[in-house]
Chain A
Protein backbone atom coordinates (compact mmCIF):
# COMPACT_ATOMS: atom_id res chain seq x y z
CA UNK A 1 0.00 0.00 0.00
CA UNK A 2 1.26 3.42 -0.85
CA UNK A 3 0.72 6.79 0.73
CA UNK A 4 -0.15 7.22 4.39
CA UNK A 5 -2.26 10.13 5.41
CA UNK A 6 -1.90 10.04 9.15
CA UNK A 7 1.11 10.87 11.27
CA UNK A 8 3.43 8.01 12.16
CA UNK A 9 5.01 7.85 15.59
CA UNK A 10 7.41 5.45 17.27
CA UNK A 11 9.51 2.66 15.82
CA UNK A 12 9.06 1.70 12.22
CA UNK A 13 9.83 -1.48 10.28
CA UNK A 14 9.21 -1.55 6.55
CA UNK A 15 6.74 -4.36 5.86
CA UNK A 16 5.16 -4.70 2.48
CA UNK A 17 2.27 -7.06 1.94
CA UNK A 18 1.96 -8.58 -1.49
CA UNK A 19 -1.16 -9.71 -3.27
CA UNK A 20 1.01 -11.79 -5.60
CA UNK A 21 1.97 -13.94 -2.64
CA UNK A 22 -1.08 -16.09 -1.88
CA UNK A 23 -0.01 -16.82 1.70
CA UNK A 24 -1.94 -15.28 4.61
CA UNK A 25 -0.81 -11.79 5.57
CA UNK A 26 0.51 -12.83 8.98
CA UNK A 27 2.83 -15.34 7.29
CA UNK A 28 4.17 -12.55 5.08
CA UNK A 29 4.77 -10.29 8.08
CA UNK A 30 6.44 -13.18 9.94
CA UNK A 31 8.81 -14.03 7.15
CA UNK A 32 9.82 -10.41 6.53
CA UNK A 33 10.48 -9.76 10.22
CA UNK A 34 12.30 -13.09 10.55
CA UNK A 35 14.59 -12.13 7.67
CA UNK A 36 15.33 -8.75 9.27
CA UNK A 37 16.14 -10.41 12.59
CA UNK A 38 18.18 -13.36 11.34
CA UNK A 39 20.20 -11.18 8.98
CA UNK A 40 21.05 -8.89 11.86
CA UNK A 41 19.32 -5.83 10.37
CA UNK A 42 17.17 -5.70 13.51
CA UNK A 43 19.50 -6.26 16.45
CA UNK A 44 18.54 -7.75 19.84
CA UNK A 45 16.83 -5.18 22.00
CA UNK A 46 15.52 -3.18 19.03
CA UNK A 47 12.07 -1.88 19.82
CA UNK A 48 9.40 -3.00 17.36
CA UNK A 49 6.21 -1.11 16.48
CA UNK A 50 3.14 -1.94 18.55
CA UNK A 51 0.70 -4.36 16.94
CA UNK A 52 -1.59 -1.41 16.28
CA UNK A 53 1.07 0.77 14.69
CA UNK A 54 2.27 -2.12 12.56
CA UNK A 55 -1.29 -2.87 11.44
CA UNK A 56 -1.73 0.75 10.36
CA UNK A 57 1.58 0.76 8.53
CA UNK A 58 0.79 -2.43 6.66
CA UNK A 59 -2.92 -1.57 6.16
CA UNK A 60 -3.96 -4.85 7.69
CA UNK A 61 -5.95 -5.85 10.77
CA UNK A 62 -4.80 -5.91 14.39
CA UNK A 63 -5.55 -9.62 14.68
CA UNK A 64 -3.14 -10.19 11.79
CA UNK A 65 -0.21 -8.38 13.40
CA UNK A 66 -1.07 -9.92 16.77
CA UNK A 67 -0.84 -13.37 15.25
CA UNK A 68 2.48 -12.57 13.53
CA UNK A 69 4.02 -11.31 16.79
CA UNK A 70 2.70 -14.29 18.70
CA UNK A 71 4.20 -16.77 16.22
CA UNK A 72 7.57 -14.97 16.24
CA UNK A 73 7.51 -14.92 20.02
CA UNK A 74 6.85 -18.68 20.04
CA UNK A 75 9.91 -19.04 17.79
CA UNK A 76 11.94 -17.10 20.34
CA UNK A 77 12.78 -14.28 17.96
CA UNK A 78 10.93 -11.47 19.73
CA UNK A 79 9.79 -10.68 23.25
CA UNK A 80 6.62 -8.92 24.34
CA UNK A 81 6.50 -7.40 27.80
CA UNK A 82 3.37 -5.98 29.27
CA UNK A 83 3.67 -2.22 29.21
CA UNK A 84 7.13 -2.23 27.65
CA UNK A 85 6.29 -3.13 24.12
CA UNK A 86 7.90 -5.68 21.86
CA UNK A 87 11.63 -6.02 21.27
CA UNK A 88 13.91 -8.27 19.26
CA UNK A 89 15.04 -11.11 21.53
CA UNK A 90 18.63 -11.89 22.50
CA UNK A 91 19.46 -14.76 20.24
CA UNK A 92 22.59 -16.75 20.98
CA UNK A 93 25.12 -16.94 18.16
CA UNK A 94 24.66 -20.69 18.22
CA UNK A 95 20.92 -20.49 17.77
CA UNK A 96 21.31 -17.81 15.12
CA UNK A 97 23.70 -20.01 13.15
CA UNK A 98 21.38 -22.98 13.50
CA UNK A 99 18.52 -20.91 12.09
CA UNK A 100 20.64 -19.68 9.22
CA UNK A 101 21.85 -23.18 8.47
CA UNK A 102 18.25 -24.37 8.49
CA UNK A 103 17.34 -21.79 5.85
CA UNK A 104 20.29 -22.82 3.67
CA UNK A 105 19.41 -26.49 4.12
CA UNK A 106 15.92 -25.90 2.76
CA UNK A 107 17.28 -24.27 -0.39
CA UNK A 108 19.93 -26.97 -0.82
CA UNK A 109 17.31 -29.66 -0.36
CA UNK A 110 15.29 -28.11 -3.15
CA UNK A 111 18.40 -27.91 -5.36
CA UNK A 112 19.21 -31.56 -4.74
CA UNK A 113 15.64 -32.60 -5.61
CA UNK A 114 15.79 -30.64 -8.86
CA UNK A 115 19.17 -32.20 -9.61
CA UNK A 116 17.99 -35.75 -9.01
CA UNK A 117 14.92 -35.14 -11.09
CA UNK A 118 17.22 -34.01 -13.90
CA UNK A 119 19.04 -37.33 -13.51
CA UNK A 120 22.27 -36.02 -11.97
CA UNK A 121 24.39 -38.47 -10.00
CA UNK A 122 25.79 -37.69 -6.58
CA UNK A 123 29.21 -36.89 -8.05
CA UNK A 124 27.67 -34.59 -10.60
CA UNK A 125 25.77 -32.79 -7.83
CA UNK A 126 29.03 -32.33 -5.94
CA UNK A 127 30.63 -31.02 -9.10
CA UNK A 128 27.82 -28.50 -9.58
CA UNK A 129 28.25 -27.29 -6.01
CA UNK A 130 32.03 -26.93 -6.47
CA UNK A 131 31.51 -25.02 -9.71
CA UNK A 132 28.99 -22.74 -8.06
CA UNK A 133 31.32 -22.06 -5.14
CA UNK A 134 34.16 -21.29 -7.54
CA UNK A 135 31.96 -19.02 -9.65
CA UNK A 136 30.85 -17.15 -6.55
CA UNK A 137 34.50 -16.75 -5.49
CA UNK A 138 35.51 -15.33 -8.87
CA UNK A 139 32.57 -12.96 -8.72
CA UNK A 140 33.64 -11.65 -5.31
CA UNK A 141 37.25 -11.28 -6.50
CA UNK A 142 35.96 -9.56 -9.63
CA UNK A 143 34.05 -7.09 -7.45
CA UNK A 144 37.19 -6.30 -5.50
CA UNK A 145 39.38 -5.51 -8.50
Chain B
Protein backbone atom coordinates (compact mmCIF):
# COMPACT_ATOMS: atom_id res chain seq x y z
CA UNK B 1 0.00 0.00 0.00
CA UNK B 2 1.19 3.47 -0.89
CA UNK B 3 2.35 5.48 2.09
CA UNK B 4 -0.40 7.63 3.48
CA UNK B 5 -3.32 6.24 1.45
CA UNK B 6 -6.67 5.95 3.15
CA UNK B 7 -7.92 3.49 0.59
CA UNK B 8 -5.71 1.13 -1.29
CA UNK B 9 -6.87 -1.48 -3.81
CA UNK B 10 -4.33 -3.87 -5.30
CA UNK B 11 -5.19 -6.04 -8.24
CA UNK B 12 -8.77 -6.32 -7.05
CA UNK B 13 -11.25 -8.18 -9.21
CA UNK B 14 -14.75 -9.53 -8.99
CA UNK B 15 -16.93 -11.27 -11.52
CA UNK B 16 -20.63 -11.88 -11.71
CA UNK B 17 -21.48 -14.13 -14.64
CA UNK B 18 -20.37 -12.24 -17.72
CA UNK B 19 -19.56 -9.04 -15.83
CA UNK B 20 -16.03 -8.59 -14.73
CA UNK B 21 -14.74 -5.79 -12.51
CA UNK B 22 -11.04 -5.13 -12.44
CA UNK B 23 -8.28 -5.90 -11.93
CA UNK B 24 -8.28 -2.57 -10.15
CA UNK B 25 -5.44 -0.64 -8.56
CA UNK B 26 -6.49 2.47 -6.73
CA UNK B 27 -5.05 4.70 -4.03
CA UNK B 28 -6.98 7.48 -2.38
CA UNK B 29 -5.14 10.10 -0.38
CA UNK B 30 -6.61 11.53 2.79
CA UNK B 31 -8.38 14.87 2.37
CA UNK B 32 -9.58 14.16 -1.17
CA UNK B 33 -13.02 14.02 -2.70
CA UNK B 34 -13.17 11.29 -5.32
CA UNK B 35 -16.07 10.88 -7.73
CA UNK B 36 -16.60 7.41 -9.15
CA UNK B 37 -18.02 7.95 -12.60
CA UNK B 38 -19.20 5.52 -15.25
CA UNK B 39 -22.20 4.31 -17.19
CA UNK B 40 -24.89 2.13 -15.63
CA UNK B 41 -23.44 -1.32 -15.03
CA UNK B 42 -19.83 -0.16 -15.16
CA UNK B 43 -19.16 -1.44 -11.64
CA UNK B 44 -19.46 1.70 -9.51
CA UNK B 45 -21.67 0.18 -6.82
CA UNK B 46 -19.63 -3.02 -6.71
CA UNK B 47 -16.49 -0.96 -6.18
CA UNK B 48 -18.09 1.03 -3.34
CA UNK B 49 -19.52 -2.12 -1.76
CA UNK B 50 -16.03 -3.57 -1.62
CA UNK B 51 -14.94 -0.67 0.55
CA UNK B 52 -17.52 -1.86 3.08
CA UNK B 53 -16.71 -5.54 2.55
CA UNK B 54 -20.31 -6.09 1.47
CA UNK B 55 -18.93 -7.63 -1.68
CA UNK B 56 -15.65 -9.44 -1.04
CA UNK B 57 -13.32 -9.45 -4.05
CA UNK B 58 -12.54 -12.73 -5.83
CA UNK B 59 -8.89 -11.79 -5.72
CA UNK B 60 -6.65 -8.93 -4.76
CA UNK B 61 -6.28 -6.81 -1.66
CA UNK B 62 -8.55 -4.13 -0.26
CA UNK B 63 -7.11 -2.11 2.57
CA UNK B 64 -8.51 0.89 4.41
CA UNK B 65 -6.78 2.96 7.08
CA UNK B 66 -3.92 0.50 6.80
CA UNK B 67 -6.13 -2.43 7.86
CA UNK B 68 -7.77 -5.23 5.93
CA UNK B 69 -10.96 -7.26 5.94
CA UNK B 70 -11.98 -9.38 7.76
CA UNK B 71 -9.41 -8.86 10.59
CA UNK B 72 -9.97 -5.15 11.02
CA UNK B 73 -13.58 -5.03 9.90
CA UNK B 74 -15.02 -3.42 13.03
CA UNK B 75 -12.28 -0.81 13.31
CA UNK B 76 -12.53 0.06 9.63
CA UNK B 77 -16.30 0.33 9.56
CA UNK B 78 -16.32 2.54 12.63
CA UNK B 79 -14.45 5.08 10.51
CA UNK B 80 -16.81 4.99 7.52
CA UNK B 81 -20.14 6.68 6.89
CA UNK B 82 -21.79 4.70 4.11
CA UNK B 83 -24.88 5.52 2.09
CA UNK B 84 -25.85 2.64 -0.18
CA UNK B 85 -28.12 3.10 -3.15
CA UNK B 86 -30.69 0.69 -1.78
CA UNK B 87 -30.39 0.01 1.92
CA UNK B 88 -31.61 -3.30 3.24
CA UNK B 89 -33.18 -3.74 6.62
CA UNK B 90 -34.54 -0.20 6.85
CA UNK B 91 -38.03 -1.00 5.52
CA UNK B 92 -40.05 -1.02 8.75
CA UNK B 93 -37.96 1.48 10.65
CA UNK B 94 -39.12 5.06 11.04
CA UNK B 95 -36.82 8.07 10.57
CA UNK B 96 -36.97 8.65 14.34
CA UNK B 97 -35.90 5.08 15.12
CA UNK B 98 -33.17 5.13 12.47
CA UNK B 99 -31.71 8.34 13.85
CA UNK B 100 -31.79 7.03 17.42
CA UNK B 101 -30.26 3.74 16.41
CA UNK B 102 -27.43 5.12 14.29
CA UNK B 103 -26.57 8.00 16.64
CA UNK B 104 -26.35 5.52 19.52
CA UNK B 105 -23.60 3.55 17.80
CA UNK B 106 -21.45 6.49 16.72
CA UNK B 107 -19.91 8.64 19.45
CA UNK B 108 -19.02 11.32 16.90
CA UNK B 109 -22.67 11.75 15.85
CA UNK B 110 -23.22 15.22 14.31
CA UNK B 111 -26.82 16.23 14.94
CA UNK B 112 -26.32 19.57 13.19
CA UNK B 113 -25.29 17.81 9.97
CA UNK B 114 -28.26 15.46 10.20
CA UNK B 115 -30.83 18.17 10.79
CA UNK B 116 -29.21 20.53 8.31
CA UNK B 117 -29.46 18.07 5.48
CA UNK B 118 -33.10 17.36 6.21
CA UNK B 119 -34.09 20.98 6.81
CA UNK B 120 -36.77 22.17 4.47
CA UNK B 121 -38.15 18.67 4.00
CA UNK B 122 -41.27 17.55 5.79
CA UNK B 123 -40.58 14.10 7.13
CA UNK B 124 -43.12 12.24 9.22
CA UNK B 125 -40.84 10.93 11.97
CA UNK B 126 -42.88 7.83 12.71
CA UNK B 127 -43.69 6.65 9.22
CA UNK B 128 -41.92 3.45 8.12
CA UNK B 129 -38.97 4.04 5.79
CA UNK B 130 -40.52 2.07 2.93
CA UNK B 131 -43.52 4.40 2.85
CA UNK B 132 -41.41 7.53 2.41
CA UNK B 133 -40.94 9.03 -1.07
CA UNK B 134 -37.87 7.92 -3.00
CA UNK B 135 -36.29 11.37 -2.65
CA UNK B 136 -36.90 11.47 1.09
CA UNK B 137 -35.43 7.98 1.49
CA UNK B 138 -32.31 9.05 -0.39
CA UNK B 139 -31.89 12.22 1.64
CA UNK B 140 -32.37 10.33 4.89
CA UNK B 141 -29.75 7.71 3.99
CA UNK B 142 -27.26 10.40 3.03
CA UNK B 143 -28.02 12.42 6.17
CA UNK B 144 -27.42 9.36 8.36
CA UNK B 145 -24.10 8.62 6.62
CA UNK B 146 -22.91 12.23 6.89
CA UNK B 147 -23.87 12.55 10.52
CA UNK B 148 -22.01 9.52 11.87
CA UNK B 149 -19.00 11.81 11.98
CA UNK B 150 -16.64 9.34 10.34
CA UNK B 151 -13.25 9.86 8.73
CA UNK B 152 -14.35 8.48 5.38
CA UNK B 153 -17.65 9.00 3.62
CA UNK B 154 -18.76 6.52 0.95
CA UNK B 155 -21.88 7.60 -0.92
CA UNK B 156 -23.56 5.72 -3.72
CA UNK B 157 -25.31 8.28 -5.94
CA UNK B 158 -26.14 10.70 -3.13
CA UNK B 159 -27.93 13.21 -5.37
CA UNK B 160 -29.85 10.86 -7.66
CA UNK B 161 -33.53 11.74 -7.85
CA UNK B 162 -33.29 14.80 -5.62
CA UNK B 163 -34.85 18.20 -6.31
CA UNK B 164 -32.36 21.03 -6.89
CA UNK B 165 -32.70 22.34 -3.33
CA UNK B 166 -32.08 18.98 -1.70
CA UNK B 167 -29.23 18.36 -4.12
CA UNK B 168 -27.50 21.59 -3.22
CA UNK B 169 -27.93 20.76 0.47
CA UNK B 170 -26.29 17.38 -0.09
CA UNK B 171 -23.35 19.01 -1.89
CA UNK B 172 -23.08 21.64 0.85
CA UNK B 173 -23.20 18.77 3.34
CA UNK B 174 -20.30 16.99 1.63
CA UNK B 175 -18.36 20.25 1.54
CA UNK B 176 -19.07 20.91 5.20
CA UNK B 177 -17.92 17.35 5.98
CA UNK B 178 -14.63 17.66 4.12
CA UNK B 179 -13.96 21.21 5.37
CA UNK B 180 -14.57 20.52 9.04
CA UNK B 181 -11.99 22.34 11.17
CA UNK B 182 -11.78 19.55 13.71
CA UNK B 183 -11.29 16.64 11.29
CA UNK B 184 -8.61 17.65 8.86
CA UNK B 185 -8.09 14.40 7.01
CA UNK B 186 -11.59 13.52 6.05
CA UNK B 187 -12.06 11.81 2.72
CA UNK B 188 -15.08 11.31 0.47
CA UNK B 189 -15.73 8.75 -2.25
CA UNK B 190 -19.02 9.07 -4.09
CA UNK B 191 -20.55 7.53 -7.19
CA UNK B 192 -22.53 9.80 -9.46
CA UNK B 193 -23.95 10.35 -12.91
CA UNK B 194 -24.18 14.10 -12.41
CA UNK B 195 -21.27 15.91 -14.02
CA UNK B 196 -22.22 19.04 -12.07
CA UNK B 197 -21.56 17.25 -8.78
CA UNK B 198 -18.22 16.12 -10.12
CA UNK B 199 -17.18 19.56 -11.30
CA UNK B 200 -18.27 21.30 -8.14
CA UNK B 201 -16.82 19.07 -5.51
CA UNK B 202 -14.64 16.24 -6.81
CA UNK B 203 -10.85 16.61 -6.72
CA UNK B 204 -10.37 13.35 -8.59
CA UNK B 205 -12.43 11.28 -10.98
CA UNK B 206 -12.22 7.49 -10.89
CA UNK B 207 -13.56 6.59 -14.31
CA UNK B 208 -14.96 3.10 -14.75
CA UNK B 209 -15.79 1.67 -18.14
CA UNK B 210 -17.14 -1.86 -18.36
CA UNK B 211 -15.49 -2.85 -15.12
CA UNK B 212 -12.15 -1.37 -16.07
CA UNK B 213 -10.77 1.57 -14.10
CA UNK B 214 -9.49 3.90 -16.81
CA UNK B 215 -7.67 5.96 -14.24
CA UNK B 216 -7.86 8.37 -11.35
CA UNK B 217 -7.87 11.78 -12.99
CA UNK B 218 -7.44 15.14 -11.38
CA UNK B 219 -10.61 17.07 -12.20
CA UNK B 220 -8.99 20.44 -12.85
CA UNK B 221 -6.10 19.04 -14.85
CA UNK B 222 -8.55 17.01 -16.92
CA UNK B 223 -10.68 20.06 -17.73
CA UNK B 224 -7.59 22.07 -18.62
CA UNK B 225 -5.98 19.26 -20.58
CA UNK B 226 -8.57 19.49 -23.33
CA UNK B 227 -9.73 22.43 -25.38
CA UNK B 228 -12.04 23.27 -28.25
CA UNK B 229 -10.59 25.60 -30.88
CA UNK B 230 -12.57 27.44 -33.52
CA UNK B 231 -9.88 28.25 -36.11
CA UNK B 232 -10.79 30.74 -38.83
CA UNK B 233 -9.98 28.26 -41.55
CA UNK B 234 -9.36 24.58 -41.97
CA UNK B 235 -5.76 23.60 -41.16
CA UNK B 236 -4.12 21.32 -43.71
CA UNK B 237 -2.50 18.09 -42.64
CA UNK B 238 -1.94 16.92 -39.10
CA UNK B 239 -2.31 19.26 -36.17
CA UNK B 240 -0.62 18.08 -32.96
CA UNK B 241 -3.10 17.27 -30.23
CA UNK B 242 -6.07 17.15 -32.57
CA UNK B 243 -8.50 14.36 -31.64
CA UNK B 244 -11.65 15.53 -33.35
CA UNK B 245 -12.33 17.79 -36.25
CA UNK B 246 -15.59 19.09 -37.73
CA UNK B 247 -15.55 21.31 -40.73
CA UNK B 248 -18.68 22.99 -41.84
CA UNK B 249 -19.41 26.66 -42.03
CA UNK B 250 -17.35 26.80 -38.87
CA UNK B 251 -14.30 24.71 -38.19
CA UNK B 252 -14.30 23.05 -34.77
CA UNK B 253 -11.25 21.26 -33.47
CA UNK B 254 -10.94 19.32 -30.24
CA UNK B 255 -7.46 18.99 -28.78
CA UNK B 256 -6.06 16.97 -25.90
CA UNK B 257 -2.90 19.03 -25.95
CA UNK B 258 -4.06 22.66 -26.13
CA UNK B 259 -0.59 24.21 -25.84
CA UNK B 260 0.80 22.27 -28.80
CA UNK B 261 -2.31 22.83 -30.88
CA UNK B 262 -2.30 26.58 -30.27
CA UNK B 263 1.40 26.71 -31.14
CA UNK B 264 0.86 24.74 -34.37
CA UNK B 265 -2.02 26.98 -35.45
CA UNK B 266 0.05 30.08 -34.71
CA UNK B 267 2.98 28.69 -36.70
CA UNK B 268 0.71 28.17 -39.69
CA UNK B 269 -0.71 31.64 -39.33
CA UNK B 270 -4.21 30.39 -38.67
CA UNK B 271 -6.14 32.73 -36.42
CA UNK B 272 -8.39 31.31 -33.72
CA UNK B 273 -11.87 32.82 -33.45
CA UNK B 274 -12.58 31.34 -30.09
CA UNK B 275 -11.43 28.69 -27.65
CA UNK B 276 -13.45 27.02 -24.94
CA UNK B 277 -13.10 24.40 -22.25
CA UNK B 278 -14.47 21.04 -23.29
CA UNK B 279 -17.40 19.62 -21.29
CA UNK B 280 -16.41 16.98 -18.80
CA UNK B 281 -18.95 14.66 -20.38
CA UNK B 282 -17.33 15.07 -23.77
CA UNK B 283 -13.87 14.42 -22.35
CA UNK B 284 -15.10 11.19 -20.80
CA UNK B 285 -16.70 10.06 -24.03
CA UNK B 286 -13.41 10.69 -25.83
CA UNK B 287 -11.66 8.49 -23.26
CA UNK B 288 -14.27 5.78 -23.79
CA UNK B 289 -13.89 5.96 -27.56
CA UNK B 290 -10.13 5.76 -27.21
CA UNK B 291 -10.46 2.66 -25.05
CA UNK B 292 -12.84 1.04 -27.55
CA UNK B 293 -10.34 1.70 -30.36
CA UNK B 294 -7.53 0.26 -28.31
CA UNK B 295 -9.57 -2.86 -27.69
CA UNK B 296 -10.44 -3.31 -31.36
CA UNK B 297 -6.74 -3.17 -32.14
CA UNK B 298 -5.89 -5.74 -29.48
CA UNK B 299 -9.13 -7.49 -28.48
CA UNK B 300 -7.46 -9.71 -25.90
CA UNK B 301 -5.62 -6.94 -24.13
CA UNK B 302 -7.17 -7.78 -20.80
CA UNK B 303 -6.71 -11.54 -20.98
A107 close to B (CB within 8 Å): no
Question: Does A59 lie within 8 Å of B220, measured CB to CB?
Answer: no
How many residues of B sit at the interface, in one of the four size bands?
35 or more
A56 close to B (CB within 8 Å): yes
Give residues 22-53 of A contacting B (CB, 8 Å).
Answer: 22-27, 50-53
Judged by DSSP, the binding face of B is helix
Give residues 111-129 of B contacting A (CB, 8 Å).
Answer: 112, 116-117, 119-120
A92 close to B (CB within 8 Å): no
Closest-CB distance, A105 to chain B (whole angstroms): 18
Give residues 25-62 of B contacting A (CB, 8 Å).
Answer: 31-33
Question: Does A61 lie within 8 Å of B223, measured CB to CB?
Answer: no
Contact with B along A95-137 (1 / 0, CB 8 A): 0000000000000000001000100000000000000000000
- Chain A residues bordering chain B, tally (CB within 8 A): 30
Question: Does B112 lie within 8 Å of A6, measured CB to CB?
Answer: yes
Question: Does B278 lie within 8 Å of A4, measured CB to CB?
Answer: no
B180 close to A (CB within 8 Å): yes
With a 10 A CB-CB cut-off, give which of B112, B165, B199 has the most chain A CB atoms.
B199
Question: Does A1 lie within 8 Å of B203, measured CB to CB?
Answer: no
Question: Does B179 lie within 8 Å of A55, measured CB to CB?
Answer: yes
From B82-90, B168-176, B247-255, B292-300, the one touching the partner chain is B168-176
**Chain A positions within 8 Å of B276 at CB level:** 22
Question: Does B168 lie within 8 Å of A1, measured CB to CB?
Answer: yes
B279 close to A (CB within 8 Å): yes
Question: Does B32 lie within 8 Å of A59, measured CB to CB?
Answer: no
Question: Does A25 lie within 8 Å of B116, measured CB to CB?
Answer: no
Rounded to whole angstroms, the CA-CA distance of A37 and B39 in the bound complex is 43
Contact with B along A44-73 (1 / 0, CB 8 A): 000000111101101111111001000000
Partner of A61, one of B120, B201, B232: B201
Rounded to whole angstroms, the CA-CA distance of A24 and B119 in the bound complex is 30
Given contacts A17-B200, A19-B200, A63-B33, 13 further A-B contacts (CB under 8 A): A2-B165, A3-B120, A6-B116, A6-B176, A22-B278, A24-B223, A25-B199, A55-B178, A56-B179, A59-B172, A59-B201, A61-B178, A63-B203
B residues bordering A, Cβ < 8 Å?
Answer: 31-33, 112, 116-117, 119-120, 165, 168-169, 171-172, 175-176, 178-181, 196, 199-203, 219-220, 223-224, 232, 271, 273, 276-280
A residues bordering B, Cβ < 8 Å?
Answer: 1-6, 17, 19, 22-27, 50-53, 55-56, 58-64, 67, 113, 117
